[in-house]
Amino acid sequence: MLAQIQYEGESFAIDFSKPIDISLSLRGDDKNPIAWYLDSPKITPFRDGDFIGKVSEGASVNFNNIQFNPHAHGTHTECVGHISKEFFSINQSLKNFFFKVKLISVSPELQSEDQVISVAKLKEQIKDSCPEALVIRTLPNYIEKRSKKYSHTNWPYLSEEAMLFIRQLNIKHLLIDLPSVDKEKDEGKLLAHKAFWNYPKNTRFEATITELIYVPNHVSDGDYFLNLQIASFENDAAPSKPVLYKIQ
């Protein structure tokens, strides 16, 4: 299904029959990725007296309860409400869902005991310009990321300077394959989050961060068309399903 797209003065072709899903699905077992010291999410049939919401147990429908945390259990998209005193909803902040996006692969640098994505590494890949969305795939890129237990691992993170560079390029939507753009244990400083949203000085309310994606190795770096789909949660973050389309 090849379609000709007009986007911000550019014209290009997209084959919508060939989506590249870079989200991680939510599972109710220990194969689910986990961060922030939580247990696995739970997907269990509703029970009320003798009723069990499971067809194999005699019910007419499957009727499950789901217990999870968007930030800890899979691909999610968040707005500035994640770090602000005031309440802001991702469902109200994200109003456009299609963007031209650049996919880059970055090897974090060892700094003391940390793996840091530096501004120099980003400049090597991005150069001086970028579309309004950026996908960062960290290297090495093992398939085990799809079920990794991130708690107490001191995962790689973006330096404050790297995030300032991203903001200066006016990148409004950042996607990354880590549980957070910040250091796991940073004493609540959240330097990268604050730099990206320019909070609280001149807050970029329309900007979003998507974390815990997974980009397969066979997907090449380069320019794509992004459909950033979110669940309609009135919350600072919601489960999301970012989908890439190759530009013909």
Q: What is the CATH number of the domain that holds 99?
A: 3.50.30.50
Residue 65 has pLDDT above 80, yes or no: yes
Q: What is the pLDDT of residue 141?
A: 98
Is residue 78's pLDDT more than 90? yes
Asked if residue 208 belongs to a domain, the reply is: yes
203: in domain:
yes
- Give the pair of three-digit tokens for residue 12: 């290009």
pTM, rounded to two decimals: 0.97
Which domain does 217 fall in, by range? 2-25+71-246
pLDDT above 90 for 9: no
Query: Residue 242 domain-assigned?
Result: yes
For residue 216, cis peptide bond before it (omega within 30 degrees of 0): no
Residue 61 lies in a domain: no
Is residue 30 included in any domain, yes or no?
Answer: no
Say how many domains are in the chain.
1
Identify whether 176 is part of a domain. yes
Q: What is the pLDDT of residue 123?
A: 94
Average pLDDT over residues 132-152: 97
CA–CA gap between residue 86 and residue 82 (Å, rounded) = 10
Q: What is the pLDDT of residues 34-43, one digit of tens each?
A: 999 999 999 9
In a domain, 189, yes or no: yes
Residue 131 has pLDDT above 90, yes or no: no
Over the Cα atoms of the chain, what is R_g? 19
| 62 part of a folded domain | no
Mean pLDDT of 195-223: 97
Is residue 1's pLDDT more than 80?
no
